[in-house]
Structure 1
């Protein structure tokens, strides 16, 4: 069996030797370069734009602004473009860093130099720079989430339940702008061949990008090819088509040559998505025995002035703990800010910071162990859908995590654990993320040399999904993983599920699984119908496959290799398709992944610097297909969330609204010195109700709850409750 083995990544050697090719590494004959000129103001309009000096600069081939750009086709809304206006649509400016011109030149340096020569006469208007400034405009969004994420909901009578509760808490939590900060900047290489366009793109979902690009440019979708084989980090900022992609395509058509556009690091921060600032108010009521009675959860997040984009921070509120009554309300407030985007654990991450912290505060108010409070309010049924959870092992995650962490050593009250100059604190939180499905196709080919090939449009975004898909195909065909190739990340290949929302394992993995089984079954039918085959005359269902050969399951020595079968029959290969129907999960159940986080922090009594010295994460994600890549993903998700808890803040100027530190030099993310011991384990129980493989999504649930676990540990250490992230030393200076 290949599934379940800790195989190393199939692309690892290319990455560590430098042979791997990302979008910005791609070269085409005659290729030229583009650079973007960005707005210096957050609100206003372009009174005049002077491109004369840029056009006269060495090597410049074109300068495109709103005054001379080609016409856009269709509308952003019709195409589900990430924003509600196409780039260079008009003279109006809605956020700092908005693109005002694209310059094409012979070299990257020439293009960047010329972009700096574009002169703009601005008419500046007052900006709405912060969420607090925008609060008077807070309103219900013109948006509807899926049924699990309503923007306004009341189950039972939450006000009455709160009033009757023995203990009531009224709490406010805040999370700031966070940036995806991927290692690889967003990039595009656009090339026209007659009326057809090929776009090499940093994309998590090439098939979803294609209709957006085609519609904006007035092309049939089959005249656009999108290629994205390897992505150097995304976390959601590459799930959308951004302005630079469309501008690169326009520029390439205008100059008649391939155009590469790699955005600068600052432009990654300003124009390619972020998690918006969010204010969350939770009111929680419980009885003295620890029974939760009601929660109301009101959230307000920043949204661009042009359109409403709510963040689903209420998503964990009614589905994690058993409650008699729930009330949620989601609002947005318009700011002069760039468009937000899906960011790893969208909604669940900031939402669980608030809910997980509030549960901890309630545990102290009731003088209960935080785990015990959660146990007493364990939820067996999805409250909105009325269905029991399938494959829920959350209680086991608590047990395993507490034992591995040493939770029994926890002092019952804050400021009771000391080691030298350090205060020591223990914290914990639950983790949960609903399982998402998407339609997916894949093809598997068994070839006459005994090898196989997987074909899927899913790119490798650094999660190891190419490796697990290879393992799935290997088990389905009975061919060793080392003999299985994979082609991916191209719209010429079968349409995968998007590599976002933790969908790859369940959705695309199921498509690969079905394709591999069908290819093997087709080979078996060929063998049993062939008088020259040792398997001739057997029922096809009695034919198994392993080690590159078909065999009689009752008499394993009886069989032959794929190579011999195909060559004897004059077949170059057998190719079969697999399709995952998102409606295929058993409708009697609700589906999610679960986990528990346990954190030890140490805080210097003088400096008040928080160090996460130990973290234990235990997760129930169904069947673990590759423990090595799964553990790597879990550790990465925990480190990612550690950054959000302790240091990440894409701060804005309180007057202009412009980002103060839009670069990796100033936007702090965890480095090796910030990361203590991270212990990851899995409570493994296949969930075949969710997917035929029994596996569920992993990449996001591992980060849900980390913020709360760290914040809870900080409170336990020094008795200071931080409700606004990040937890920086200045917030811990109270005695």
Structure 2
């Protein structure tokens, strides 16, 4: 079987040799280039804009502003998590960096030079620059979409249960702006052929982008093609259409040439999403035996002045631990900030920092081991859906993680473990992420040369999903992975599930699985009905496939290759589609993925710099399709969360609201020297209730709980509790008594 084997990534050679083509590598004859002009202020309006010098610069073809932009043909209300205005809509300025003009020229350098020549006369007004400044405006969000989480909820008298608890905690946790910081900048190449538009763009869902682009430009859906096959990092900020894509398409129509627009690194940080700052108040009540009685979780996150976008930090509150009563309240506070976007583990990551830290604080109040406290509050059913969890092996994750980590060597209290100049701390946290399902289609073709091809519109975003989907097709057809090709990332292909929300493995994987099963069955029917086939007349259920060959399971020597079968019957190929319907999951269960994190930190007594020297993580994600890509994906997610815990902060100027360090040179992310040993393992039990493949999503659960695990280890090491991320050395200096 190909599934479960640690095969190498199918696109790996292209990537390491430079043959891989990303969106910014796309080129068309006669292509022009565009550059964007961003606002230098955070709040106000454009009093006047002078493009004379830019228009006279060498190579310039056009300059577009709010004065001469094309008419947008729809409203952007369908843009989930996107601002409620299209680019260059009017003179009003809502955040620093907001696009005010676009220059189109013969080369990228000419466009960038001319963009610097655009002169803007501003009428400024004082911005709301920080979340603290916005708090007086905190309000319940006007949520424009069907909510995936409750923004207000009270179950079983949480205030009363809290007051009746033996032990009560009232805690505040903060997380700052975090940037996705993808290595690949956003880019679009747009080309019109008559009234047919082709858009090459950095996207995590080409079929989702297509109606937005078509609607904004007033083009019938069938006249728009969107292409995005390889994405060089996204983490959620390529889940929606951003303004640059629409502007590139409008520019191409205006100048009559293909137009490429690659945004600058600072524009990636400023105008293409981030995780907003969040303040979380968590009140926890428990009995002396550790039984949780109440959790009341109140969150406030920054939101753009244009619309309310709540962050689902309350996601883990009632679904991770058994608790008798739950209260949640989500508020937003309007700021002059760029539009946030979904960011890896949206909601769950910052939410579990608070919940996982609070459980640790409670364990010290109760003088109880943190793992034991979590065991005593193990949750067997979804509290709102009132259905048992399917495929929950969280207790096994605790056991395996504690064993691999050596948790039994942990001293019971803080400042009790030392090695030379280093204080040593052990911390842990749970991990959980609800399993999301989405409709998905895929086609699998078997050809008369014995090869096969998978076709679906998914993207390779660096997770190895093209490899695992190839393995799924290999098992379904019995053709070796090396003889299976892949076409992806194009709206001319069957619509996959988006490559966000950890949907690819379960949803698109199921579609590929069903397509491969169906195309194999077509081949089997052809063989058993063919008088010249060695398999003629056999019952279909006796026929299996392996190594590109159909054979009789009762006599494996009896059979033939796909190549011989198809050529003898004059068939160039056979192809079938598979469709994953989210309603096909067993409705008797609730679904999630689970895990446990264990962290060792060392803190120099003088420098007070946190080093994560060991991290052990164990996950229950159903069937593991490829242990090599899964382990690599998990390690990457853990490293991502380590950055958020220890160094990442897209800080703003408290007066102007501008991001202070919107560039990889100053926005610190982990590098190799920051990372110690990361041990990842899996409790592998297929969950066939969730998907026919038995596999569930991995991409996001791996990062949930890492922040808390590190913060808890820091407290264990030196007895200082950090509740506002990141955990930097200045927060680890003992306060004078």
Partner residue, 1:160: 160
Post-superposition offset of 1:157: 0.6
Partner residue, 2:116: 116
Comparing 539-548 with 615-624, greater Cα deviation is found at 539-548
Partner residue, 2:450: 450
Partner residue, 2:207: 207
The Cα offsets for residues 660-708 of structure 1, whole Å up to 9 and x where unpaired, read as: 0000000000000000000000010000000001000001000000000
Partner residue, 1:682: 682
CA contact (8 A) 1:535 1:558 kept: yes
The CA distance in 1 between the partners of 2:506 and 2:377, in whole Å, is 29
Partner residue, 1:269: 269
Partner residue, 2:197: 197
The Cα offsets for residues 26-79 of structure 1, whole Å up to 9 and x where unpaired, read as: 111001100000000000000000000000000000000000001000111145
The Cα offsets for residues 365-417 of structure 1, whole Å up to 9 and x where unpaired, read as: 00000000000000001000000000000000000000000001100000001
Partner residue, 1:703: 703
Distance verdict in 2 for CA 1:432–1:407, change over 3 Å: same
Moved over 4 A (4+): 78-81, 144-148
CA contact (8 A) 1:595 1:620 kept: yes
The CA distance in 1 between the partners of 2:268 and 2:128, in whole Å, is 22
Post-superposition offset of 1:538: 1.3
The Cα offsets for residues 527-551 of structure 1, whole Å up to 9 and x where unpaired, read as: 1111111111112222111110111
The CA distance in 2 between the partners of 1:146 and 1:565, in whole Å, is 51
CA contact (8 A) 1:79 1:211 kept: no
Partner residue, 1:170: 170
The Cα offsets for residues 703-735 of structure 1, whole Å up to 9 and x where unpaired, read as: 000000000000000000000000000000115
1:248-259 aligned within 5 A: 248-259=248-259
Distance verdict in 2 for CA 1:697–1:188, change over 3 Å: same
CA contact (8 A) 2:81 2:342 kept: no
Partner residue, 1:394: 394
Post-superposition offset of 1:83: 1.4
The Cα offsets for residues 273-293 of structure 1, whole Å up to 9 and x where unpaired, read as: 000000000000000001000
Comparing 530-539 with 34-43, greater Cα deviation is found at 530-539
CA contact (8 A) 1:79 1:215 kept: no
The CA distance in 1 between the partners of 2:368 and 2:237, in whole Å, is 40
1:285-296 aligned within 5 A: 285-296=285-296
The CA distance in 2 between the partners of 1:339 and 1:188, in whole Å, is 19
Partner residue, 1:613: 613
Post-superposition offset of 1:147: 6.7
The CA distance in 2 between the partners of 1:261 and 1:223, in whole Å, is 21
TM norm structure 2: 0.99
Secondary structure of the 1:275 match is coil
The CA distance in 2 between the partners of 1:539 and 1:653, in whole Å, is 73
Asked if 1:420 is matched to 2:420, the reply is yes
The CA distance in 1 between the partners of 2:79 and 2:327, in whole Å, is 34
Secondary structure of the 1:556 match is strand
1:354-433 aligned within 5 A: 354-433=354-433
Post-superposition offset of 1:145: 7.2
CA contact (8 A) 1:619 1:682 kept: yes
Partner residue, 2:649: 649
Partner residue, 2:491: 491
CA contact (8 A) 2:279 2:301 kept: yes
Post-superposition offset of 1:212: 0.3
The CA distance in 1 between the partners of 2:145 and 2:246, in whole Å, is 28
Measured on the aligned residues, the alpha-carbon RMSD in Å equals 0.8
Partner residue, 1:463: 463
1:525-674 aligned within 5 A: 525-674=525-674
Partner residue, 1:57: 57
TM norm structure 1: 0.99
CA contact (8 A) 1:468 1:626 kept: yes
Post-superposition offset of 1:255: 0.6
Partner residue, 1:513: 513
Partner residue, 2:434: 434
Post-superposition offset of 1:348: 0.3
Asked if 1:723 is matched to 2:713, the reply is no
The CA distance in 1 between the partners of 2:191 and 2:462, in whole Å, is 26
Comparing 451-460 with 547-556, greater Cα deviation is found at 547-556
Secondary structure of the 2:430 match is strand
Partner residue, 1:472: 472
1:212-361 aligned within 5 A: 212-361=212-361
Task: For structure 2, list consecutive stretches of 5 or more residues without a partner in the other structure.
Answer: none
The CA distance in 1 between the partners of 2:330 and 2:402, in whole Å, is 34
Secondary structure of the 2:596 match is strand
Partner residue, 2:42: 42
Post-superposition offset of 1:557: 1.1
The CA distance in 2 between the partners of 1:246 and 1:343, in whole Å, is 22
Query: How many matched pairs?
Result: 735
Task: For structure 1, list consecutive stretches of 5 or more residues without a partner in the other structure.
Answer: none
Post-superposition offset of 1:571: 0.3
Post-superposition offset of 1:9: 0.3
The CA distance in 2 between the partners of 1:680 and 1:461, in whole Å, is 21
Secondary structure of the 2:695 match is coil
The Cα offsets for residues 251-296 of structure 1, whole Å up to 9 and x where unpaired, read as: 1111111111000000000000000000000000000001000000
Secondary structure of the 1:616 match is strand
The Cα offsets for residues 199-221 of structure 1, whole Å up to 9 and x where unpaired, read as: 00010100000000000000111
The CA distance in 1 between the partners of 2:658 and 2:52, in whole Å, is 28
Asked if 1:129 is matched to 2:129, the reply is yes
Secondary structure of the 2:388 match is strand
Distance verdict in 2 for CA 1:148–1:203, change over 3 Å: closer
The CA distance in 2 between the partners of 1:406 and 1:607, in whole Å, is 27
CA contact (8 A) 1:34 1:108 kept: yes
Distance verdict in 2 for CA 1:677–1:209, change over 3 Å: same
Secondary structure of the 1:444 match is strand
Post-superposition offset of 1:555: 1.5
The Cα offsets for residues 603-661 of structure 1, whole Å up to 9 and x where unpaired, read as: 01111000000000000000000000000000000000000000000000001111000
Distance verdict in 2 for CA 1:315–1:201, change over 3 Å: same
The Cα offsets for residues 215-256 of structure 1, whole Å up to 9 and x where unpaired, read as: 000011111101001000000010010010000001111111
Partner residue, 1:85: 85
Partner residue, 2:12: 12
Post-superposition offset of 1:339: 0.4
Post-superposition offset of 1:143: 1.3
